[in-house]
Structure formats: structure tokens, C-alpha cells
Copies of this chain bind each other. A is one copy, B any other.
Amino acid sequence: MFQVPTKTQYAIRALVHLVQVKTASVASIAETERIPFKYLEAIFSQLKSAGLLSADRGRSGGYRLAREPELILMSDVVKATEGDIRPVECVDDASICTVAEGCLPRRFWLGLKRTVDAYLASVTLAEIAEPLSPRNRIEPSPQLNEISIAAKKEHHS
């Protein structure tokens, strides 16, 4: 359950890459991140439509972040690749449920939606792109903010 589509995983990996290199072509990112080229092209098209990426065409063109990674929330990314979080249709439209009149599970789904939304909106692209500290290469701390504070600036190979 809650399997995240590869599309979104690819999107995040590619965005992290762009944080580091500032600007790059789809082809180069696809190769270094081992993502199918044409698929990534389509994904970037979506991310651009969502206002997360800017592009330059032509010989020395490429993609770059449309704004600073501190201002890109993971909820923005997920929304761009997959649309709104909607555990069940009725969180948007209670009239769908056949027993909507007094439907009990609805509260539960709304709570789930809020929980996931809150988490996704609490993590920025910049935090994900922070280098890993030696301590948490295996077992990461659940709190990304603490990681980013504790993380050193050194690079790992």
C-alpha cells in the first residue's frame, strides 16, 4: 500500500540532481540517474507545467529549477506528478458514498489525508538534497530538519 509510483521517485531524484548541478539536459540526468530518457522527458514536461522547472531550448539549453530549492515543497512535487492526495473520492465529495448520510469511515480518511499532506508539505527539496552525514547513512533520523542542522558541508563520494 502507498506504493509511490516510479514517476514520482524519478522526479525527486532528478530534482535533487538539479539542485547540485544547477542546470542540465534531460539526457545527461537520465544517464547519471539511470532513468529512462523518454520517460524523464515526459516527467520534466509535467514539472515544468507545474511551475517547478524552467527550460531553455536549443543547442546549449537544458532544465533548471524555477525557484530556490528551499521554496520547493515535496507536496508541490507530488502534486505535479500525481495530482491531489485523495485516499478515497469522498474526501472531496461526500455525495459519492452510498451511505454518505452518516458515513463513519470518512473522518478516518480525512485524517489520513491531513497527515500525509502535512508531512509532504513539511519537507523541502533543499532538505532532501542536503548531504548525508556519516551517522545517518544507514538508519536515518525521522526528522529531516535535525538532519539538515546536524549535517556537515563535506562531500561524500
Residues of chain A having any CB pair with chain B under 8 Å: 1-5, 8-9, 12-13, 16, 33-34, 74, 78, 82-88, 94, 98-99, 102, 104-116, 118-120, 122-123, 128-132, 136-138, 140-145, 147-148, 151-152, 155-157
Contact = CB atoms under 8 A, between A and B. Distances in A.
Contact of A99 (B34, B107, B108, B115): B34
A144 B109 CA distance: 10
Q: Report the 10 A-B pairs with minimum CB-CB distance, sorted nearest first.
A: A107-B140, A1-B82, A111-B144, A110-B140, A111-B148, A34-B98, A115-B148, A115-B119, A4-B87, A107-B144
A156 B143 contact: yes
A132 B106 CA distance: 11
Given A102-B132, A115-B152, A108 B4 contact: no
A121 to B, nearest CB: 11
Contacts of A151: 115
A104 B140 CA distance: 10
Kindly report how many copies of this chain are found in the complex they form together: 2
B33 A99 contact: yes
B144 A129 contact: no
A52 to B, nearest CB: 16
B147 A107 contact: yes
B119 A142 contact: no
